[in-house]
Structure 1
Amino acid sequence: MSQTETSPIRVEKIAHIVLFVKDPELSAQWYSDILNMKIVARAADGPYKGGVFLSFGVSDHDIALFPAEEGATTGKEFEHVGLMMAGTSMDDLRRNYAFFAERGVKIAEILDHGVSTGIYFYDPDGHMLEVFCQRVPQETGASQAELTRNQGQADPVDPSQL
């Protein structure tokens, strides 16, 4: 199906992400402490036994953490998960960077995408996440136009330049 054809699928947003982790309880505590997530539920039985469901505050769950199979490698199931910050200023991003640094969160890099600037970091199982400050509005189509114009560029940012 080409882009000119109309698909009946209309995804509004990513609703939730499920990650396999070595220790769901330990990881849930990390997500709670570092990303200010609320632990909503723990699966005591059934197919999700041992899973922990977390929310940023509105959804029933935004991230779920399930126990990985014995001996499974974790942290390489995907490239990264982008989390748009509620704040839109670079001051918000600077505060997040300082918060991560204070808590010893392993930072991978900071990138300026033209439309946004993001801090890429790792959870305890090696999954890469990004918190980003959206600088070009998405609602008007301006962010898509800018990303097309700059061909998806991603320039490294020195933390001292935040």
Structure 2
Amino acid sequence: MSPIRIERIAHVVLYVRDPEASARWYCEVLNMKITARAGDGPYKGGVFLSFGESDHDVALFKAEEGASKGKEFEHIGFQLASTSMEDLRRNHEFFQQRGVKIAEILDHGVSVGIYFYDPDGHMLEVFCQRVPLAGGASQAELNRNQGQADPTTL
């Protein structure tokens, strides 16, 4: 057994066309706050954002010219603080009002998620956890339902 015990995803770093413009989008759409801007050094021009407590949950760095966008990974999932489906519906309405491009809405049995794109084409997910994480309940359900990913509506 490995001695490494990862607690959670601490942060994600994304390459984007325009870190400042993308930072505004993340602040306006996902209610993040800018915690720092990189000065000189390898991260110059980078913007660091947080959902609240962490020094940064997402960092945005300028991509090289001609780099492919939105294909560096499949998606990043952000768990909502609320477990209310009504709150997830309000998020969906907010995204629609903001013109956010929504890919799909999936019911995973353990959670329901809205999959959408940032301005650089990165797929993101906000989800409502429906089965508690504590005690292994969500792991057991995901195993039982074999990774369910059923399209649904809100």
TM-score after normalising by structure 1: 0.94
Alignment of 1:132-151 (within 5 A): 132-151=127-146
Question: 2:26 aligns to what?
Answer: 31
The CA distance in 1 between the partners of 2:67 and 2:30, in whole Å, is 25
Kindly provide the amino acid, as one letter, of the partner of residue 141 in structure 1. Answer: G
Could you say which structure has the larger radius of gyration?
1
Kindly provide the amino acid, as one letter, of the partner of residue 34 in structure 1. Answer: V
Question: 1:86 aligns to what?
Answer: 81
The CA distance in 1 between the partners of 2:98 and 2:10, in whole Å, is 28
Moved over 2 A (4+): none
Q: Does 1:154 align with 2:138?
A: no
Q: Does 1:11 align with 2:15?
A: no
Secondary structure class of the residue paired with 2:96: helix
Question: 2:70 aligns to what?
Answer: 75
Task: Kindly report the root-mean-square deviation, in angstroms, between the aligned alpha carbons of the 2 structures.
Answer: 0.5
Q: Does 1:123 align with 2:118?
A: yes
2:40 to 25, 31, 45: 45
Structure 1: runs of 5+ lacking an equivalent: 1-5
Secondary structure class of the residue paired with 1:140: helix
TM-score after normalising by structure 2: 0.99
